[in-house]
Amino acid sequence: MYSLHLSAEQLEIRDTVREFVTHEVRPVMLKADRLDACDRTLPLALLDKISQLGLRTLTLAEEDGGAGADQLTACIVTEELAAGDADIAATLAETSRLAKIVFGRGMTKPQRDRLLPLFAGNERCQLAFARHEADADDRLGANYHRPLAPGNDIKTTAVRSGNEWIVNGVKDCVANAPLAGLFAAAVKVPGRHGTSIIAVPADAPGVSIRAHDHAWRHGTCGEVSFKDCRVPADNLLSEEAAGLLDSDQTSGHGSALMQAVALGVGRAAYEAALDYAKLRVQGGRPIAEHQAIGTKLAEIAVKLEVVRGAVWQAAWAADHPDAYADRSLADLPLQTIAQVFTAQAMLEAAKDSAEIFGAMGVMRDMPMQKYVHDARVCLHSGDSSREAKLRIAEALTGYRRTAPAAVAAE
Amino acid sequence: MDFALSNEQRDWQMTARKFADEDIRPISLARDAIPTAPETFDWEIVKKGSKLGFRTLAVPKEFGGHGTDFVTQALVMTELARADSAISKTFSQNWKWSHLISHACTEEQKARFLKPFVEDDTFLLGKGISEPSAGSDNRLPPADDPKAGLKLRAERQGNEWILNGEKCFIANAPVGKLFFIDARTDPAAPLKQGTTMFLVPRDTPGFRIGKVFNKSGWRFYQNGEMIFENARVPHANVVGEVNGGARKAGGGGDDTTGGDIFGDLELCANALGICDDASQTALRYARTTKQGGRYLFEQQIVQLQINKMHMLTEALRSFVLRVAWEHDMKVRSPNAGLAMNYSTDVVQEVTELYMDVRGSDGCAMDHHADKLVRDSIIWSHLAGDTVQRMKVARRLPS
């Protein structure tokens, strides 16, 4: 049944997070060292408080000690956090996204009993997906409607040795790497088809992490090297988890949490602009009362509402995959669709909001330039809109990509 | 119709291109990356450019300047901005106010101020209009609120004026040696009837520079606060007549001071330089960078993006040079304002496209693309973009 009513729990968690952001995140975020886009350090003390609130384990099942939040609830929380600080929101979004898959469908009971305490029992443990490798280029681009060029397979390997896997390889641009206590590492297992995922604790022997400074990403990211890294044989996750993790951000049906980050950034910019436009007097009246500014505020509000609708729909669809089967939802990559619209609309919203502040909108010790920068990072990091549109187009025509290995075998 | 440049225009263009390529471009990104605002500035590049004539390009020849026409000025601003928009603006800001000196000052004032300006390679000019509570109100004074607008007070005491108040967001304030300052001389009268313009040298007693603003774009181009605490300015430094305000300065025509006519051309010519840089770099990048085993340029989307960048850039070039030519022909039209508004749209669209063509490489963004996008955002934050558009609409002939 179509309903936009949030549950009592969802409303409560939204209010709680909003209040926390107002009283705890904003005062920290509005300090000059957080506003300067060129030199930011993540406030770890805030992450600790957020962890104590239970937001780090938001999507973990209740029986595992989490809040059991669905994708929609996680999007609502992420928007609220991002309205305070995009880096904090992105850090938790990545952990939430991964926790749901890794500890949800990814593990057998014995695996969970052994690995869950590493995450649930350590307040500072974030999760990271170590997939990308520096020399691999798996962008669609030139391969639109064509099989991917061979040679872009994952090169990191996991080789069985007795009761252990020995992992070797280097991963790059891994979100959350500097804060991660546990990695889901994408590896090739000789003799196995496709990508396998192995859980690797950050303190396993042979793991080294190098943080990227000034990365064009929200949150933190870094390089992760595995050198003869040994983990127990039972750390191999299920094939289902491997498939879900690998396709989460490309299938069109995965988590829309990064879109919720962009939405939160746009909303923060809008709220600041609205407050200022009601206070600032020029032309004999508050500038909000001038048509030119009023219309700008209206356009920003339109974009925010349409974006929230698209993000919530994508999240709800991820929570209710049966809604495709019963024809409630069109068979479309709703998350990718939300991504393309959100990234562009929120950059426009942030730019328009900043413009309302005149010269103050570009000053590095004031918030508006940060919102513009943060919105632009959302548009141009990870998977670009150019790339995402190609994936939507392939979905529209029903194109199914054959794996490079299969092509080579033909 | 004749689009050919004269030999002199071509010579200036080539000199500017050489200076931009050999001296400006090599320092551009490093200066942009310096975190604190005052340190981004580099006197060496100012002195070098000054010796080549780029500080005094617009000063008439009889005062020792180069007396170039507007077409030449547009060409030079574009060439310098192609290497660094903020450095180009640091030079052309002096042309703007040297235009004003030549148009609005007395012979005595010209001898007193233009001569040292021409002779000193580190002599930069600025003008203070905006104040914390008066930005758009100075551009479009509201008819129903005569007290709106700048508040900096100037009161006559014998042969001197005593200035009290502050200005903010003033270009070249931290590095300038001479400033035009708009001050309220009749607080009861509306802005245009109660304002007087003063020439205020840097070493005026009671006048100091406050905060230096740290901007996200145009970082080299210095911007600061001005504080007047019983600053004493001789009556001989009044520009035009007391309570003559901006009207008098331009020597005829409402809202078309020498500064304004040049200012619109300046912004669109500078934007054109950024567009040239972005579209040419994007093309080179797409032709030399491979993705998925093939050059980026082979992708249809990339071709369409690069087409759009060049299409907008060439349309802007036509508009910029037409406006410059109209100024030289003394054709009065709202085209300069329209071109400036158009350049705001174009420079932002072209630089966003450039960033998209480059894309993020792993988890890094190219510094050059990031800088051009940040520089181009400044156009929406100068002098009130929306206000400028409405002002131009009101200038259109009925």
**What residues does A331 pair with on adjacent strands?**
none
Residue A288 has pLDDT above 60, yes or no: yes
Which strand ranges, in their side-by-side order, compose the sheet holding A126-130? Answer: A126-130, A180-187, A196-201
Q: From the centroid of its chain, how far is CA B359?
A: 30
Q: What are φ and ψ of residue B174, in 5° steps? A: -70, -15
A232, A163 Cβ separation under 8 angstroms: yes
Instruction: Please tell me the distance in Å from B255's CA to the nearest CA on chain A.
Output: 17
pLDDT at position B390 is 92
B173, B222 Cβ separation under 8 angstroms: yes
Q: Which residues of chain A does B390 touch, with a Cβ-Cβ cutoff of 8 Å?
A: 292
Name the residue of chain A whose CA is nearest to B364's CA. A216
Name the residue of chain A whose CA is nearest to B35's CA. A38
Q: Which long-range contacts (CB under 8 A, 24 or more apart) does B299-302 make?
A: B299/A141, B299/A142, B299/A144, B301/A386, B301/A390, B302/B357
Length in residues, chain B: 398
Instruction: Please tell me the distance in Å from A130's CA to the nearest CA on chain B.
Output: 13
The correct CATH number of A129-242 out of 3.90.780.10, 2.40.10.10, 3.40.640.10, 2.40.110.10 is: 2.40.110.10
Q: How far apart are CA A301 and CA A266, in angstroms?
A: 10
Q: Where does B125-248 sit in CATH, by number?
A: 2.40.110.10
Q: Which residues of chain A does B169 touch, with a Cβ-Cβ cutoff of 8 Å?
A: 359
Task: For chain A, report the end-to-end CA distance as a whole number of angstroms.
Answer: 47
For B307-362, write each residue's pLDDT tens digit.
999 999 999 999 999 999 999 998 888 899 999 999 999 999 999 999 999 987 77
Domain map (residue ranges) of chain B: 7-119, 125-248, 258-395
Residue A409 has pLDDT above 70, yes or no: no
B 254-293 near A (Cβ less than 8 A): 291-293
H or E element that contains A185: strand A180-187
**Interface membership of A361 toward B (CB under 8 Å):** yes
pLDDT at position A142 is 84
pLDDT at position B259 is 41
A 259-298 near B (Cβ less than 8 A): 281-284, 287, 292-293, 296
A 63-82 near B (Cβ less than 8 A): none
A259, A381 Cβ separation under 8 angstroms: no
Looking at the partner chain, which of B35, B145, B293 has a beta carbon nearest the beta carbon of A284? Answer: B145
Q: How far apart are CA A315 and CA A328, in angstroms?
A: 15
With CB atoms and an 8 Å threshold, state whether B364 touches A212: yes
- Closest by CA to A214, choosing from B218, B370, B82, is B370
H or E element that contains B199: strand B195-201
In single-letter form, the type of residue at position A57 comes to T
Looking at the partner chain, which of A144, A215, A355 has a beta carbon nearest the beta carbon of B385? Answer: A355
H or E element that contains B225: strand B223-234
The correct CATH number of A257-396 out of 1.20.140.10, 3.40.50.300, 1.10.10.10, 3.40.50.2000 is: 1.20.140.10
**What residues does B196 pair with on adjacent strands?**
B183
With CB atoms and an 8 Å threshold, state whether B292 touches A283: no
Rg of chain B (C-alpha set): 21
A177, A184 Cβ separation under 8 angstroms: no
- Closest by CA to A156, choosing from A134, A181, A180, A126, is A134
pLDDT at position A403 is 59
Q: How far apart are CA B88 and CA B23, in angstroms?
A: 12
For A216-227, write each residue's pLDDT tens digit.
999 999 999 999
- Closest by CA to A315, choosing from A59, A72, A58, A1, is A72
pLDDT at position B246 is 61
Share of chain B above pLDDT 70, in %: 96
**Interface membership of A173 toward B (CB under 8 Å):** yes
- With b meaning 16 or more CB within 10 Å and e meaning fewer, what string describes A366-389? bbbbbbbbbbbbbbbbbbbbbbbb
Instruction: Please tell me the distance in Å from A363's CA to the nearest CA on chain B.
Output: 5
Looking at the partner chain, which of B148, B214, B291 has a beta carbon nearest the beta carbon of A139? Answer: B291
- Closest by CA to B191, choosing from B257, B139, B131, B132, is B139
- Closest by CA to B169, choosing from A368, A358, A351, is A358
Residue B279 has pLDDT above 90, yes or no: yes
pLDDT at position A84 is 96
Name the residue of chain B whose CA is nearest to A360's CA. B381
**What residues does B181 pair with on adjacent strands?**
B128, B198
- Closest by CA to B161, choosing from B181, B190, B144, is B181
pLDDT at position A38 is 65
Residue A233 has pLDDT above 50, yes or no: yes
For B156-214, write each residue's pLDDT tens digit.
999 999 999 999 999 999 999 999 999 999 999 988 889 999 999 999 999 999 999 99
Name the residue of chain B whose CA is nearest to A137's CA. B292
pLDDT at position A9 is 96
Residue in A356, A374, A380 to test binding to B, most B beta-carbons within 10 Å? A380
Structure tokens at A246: 């690998």
Question: How far from B136 is each of A95, A358, B132, B139, CA to CA, in Å?
Answer: 46, 9, 11, 5
Question: How far from B277 is each of A95, B87, B284, CA to CA, in Å?
Answer: 40, 14, 11
Q: How far apart are CA B96 and CA B266, in angstroms?
A: 8
For A323-374, write each residue's pLDDT tens digit.
999 999 999 999 999 999 999 999 999 999 999 999 999 999 999 999 999 9
With CB atoms and an 8 Å threshold, state whether A142 touches B293: yes
With CB atoms and an 8 Å threshold, state whether A141 touches B299: yes
Q: How far apart are CA A157 and CA A142, in angstroms?
A: 27
Q: How far apart are CA B341 and CA B394, in angstroms?
A: 14
Q: Which residues of chain A does B385 touch, with a Cβ-Cβ cutoff of 8 Å?
A: 355
With CB atoms and an 8 Å threshold, state whether B377 touches A380: no
Confidence tier at A153 by pLDDT (50, 70, 90): confident
Question: How far from A226 is each of A184, A191, A207, A235, B395, CA to CA, in Å?
Answer: 12, 20, 5, 15, 67
pLDDT at position B260 is 63
Q: Could you tell me which residues come within 8 angstroms of residue B159 by beta carbon, excluding any fewer than 6 positions away?
A: B234, B235, B236
Name the residue of chain A whose CA is nearest to B34's CA. A38
Residue B252 has pLDDT above 80, yes or no: no
Mean pLDDT score of chain A:
93
Residue in B216, B347, B349, B353 to test binding to A, most A beta-carbons within 10 Å? B216
Q: How far apart are CA A392 and CA A336, in angstroms?
A: 7
Instruction: Please tell me the distance in Å from A206's CA to the nearest CA on chain B.
Output: 24
Question: How far from A23 is each of A28, A75, A262, A271, B207, CA to CA, in Å?
Answer: 9, 21, 21, 16, 41
B 218-257 near A (Cβ less than 8 A): none
Instruction: Please tell me the distance in Å from A156's CA to the nearest CA on chain B.
Output: 17
Residue A232 DSSP SS3: strand
Q: In this structure, are strands B160-171 and B153-157 parallel, antiparallel, or unpaired?
A: antiparallel
Mean pLDDT for the stretch of residues A16-41:
86
**Interface membership of B36 toward A (CB under 8 Å):** no
- Closest by CA to A121, choosing from A69, A35, A182, A164, is A182
Q: How far apart are CA B336 and CA B334, in angstroms?
A: 6
A156, A169 Cβ separation under 8 angstroms: yes
**Interface membership of B355 toward A (CB under 8 Å):** yes
Question: How far from A372 is each of A78, B345, B373, CA to CA, in Å?
Answer: 18, 17, 11
Instruction: Please tell me the distance in Å from A2's CA to the nearest CA on chain B.
Output: 37
CATH superfamily of the domain spanning B258-395: Butyryl-CoA Dehydrogenase, subunit A, domain 3 (1.20.140.10)
Confidence tier at B253 by pLDDT (50, 70, 90): very low
pLDDT at position B26 is 98
Residue B397 has pLDDT above 90, yes or no: no
Handedness of CA A276, A280, A283, A288 (dihedral sign): positive
With CB atoms and an 8 Å threshold, state whether A363 touches B215: yes
For B223-249, write each residue's pLDDT tens digit.
999 999 999 999 999 999 999 876 443
Q: In this structure, are strands A180-187 and A126-130 parallel, antiparallel, or unpaired?
A: parallel
Residue B58: CB atoms within 10 Å? 25
With CB atoms and an 8 Å threshold, state whether B381 touches A354: yes
Mean pLDDT score of chain B:
92
Q: Which residue has the tokens 């546990």?
A: A182
CATH superfamily of the domain spanning B7-119: Acyl-CoA dehydrogenase/oxidase, N-terminal domain (1.10.540.10)
Q: How far apart are CA A279 and CA A347, in angstroms?
A: 24
**Interface membership of B213 toward A (CB under 8 Å):** yes
Q: How far apart are CA B55 and CA B49, in angstroms?
A: 7
A105, A240 Cβ separation under 8 angstroms: yes
Name the residue of chain A whose CA is nearest to B295's CA. A142
Where do runs of H (alpha helix) occur along B226-366?
245-249, 258-288, 300-328, 335-358
Q: Which residue has the higher pLDDT, A389 or A401?
A: A389
- Closest by CA to B59, choosing from B32, B96, B6, is B96
Q: Which residues of chain B does A386 touch, with a Cβ-Cβ cutoff of 8 Å?
A: 301, 356, 359
**Interface membership of A134 toward B (CB under 8 Å):** yes
Domain map (residue ranges) of chain A: 8-125, 129-242, 257-396
- Closest by CA to A61, choosing from A22, A106, A11, A31, is A106
With CB atoms and an 8 Å threshold, state whether B356 touches A386: yes
pLDDT at position A70 is 96
Q: Could you tell me which residues come within 8 angstroms of residue B383 by beta carbon, excluding any fewer than 6 positions away?
A: B139
- Closest by CA to A356, choosing from A305, A261, A282, is A282
pLDDT at position B266 is 95
**Interface membership of A384 toward B (CB under 8 Å):** yes
**Interface membership of B138 toward A (CB under 8 Å):** no
Q: Where does A8-125 sit in CATH, by number?
A: 1.10.540.10
**Interface membership of A150 toward B (CB under 8 Å):** no
Q: How far apart are CA A209 and CA B355, in angstroms?
A: 29
Instruction: Please tell me the distance in Å from B316's CA to the nearest CA on chain A.
Output: 22
Q: Which residues of chain B does A364 touch, with a Cβ-Cβ cutoff of 8 Å?
A: 214-216
Residue B383 has pLDDT above 50, yes or no: yes
Structure tokens at B369: 């693309």
Looking at the partner chain, which of B145, B360, B390 has a beta carbon nearest the beta carbon of A292? Answer: B390
Name the residue of chain B whose CA is nearest to A147's CA. B292
Q: Which residue has the tokens 């617009």?
A: B58
Q: How far apart are CA A208 and CA A228, in angstroms?
A: 11
Where do runs of H (alpha helix) occur along chain B?
7-19, 25-32, 43-51, 70-83, 85-104, 107-109, 115-119, 136-139, 191-194, 245-249, 258-288, 300-328, 335-358, 367-377, 385-395
**Interface membership of A210 toward B (CB under 8 Å):** no
With CB atoms and an 8 Å threshold, state whether A362 touches B215: yes
pLDDT at position A111 is 93
CA atoms within 13 A on the CB side of A9: 8
**Interface membership of A409 toward B (CB under 8 Å):** no
Q: What DSSP designation does A29 have?
A: H
Please state the ipTM of this predicted complex. Answer: 0.94
Looking at the partner chain, which of B169, B359, B365 has a beta carbon nearest the beta carbon of A359? Answer: B169
Residue A97 has pLDDT above 90, yes or no: yes
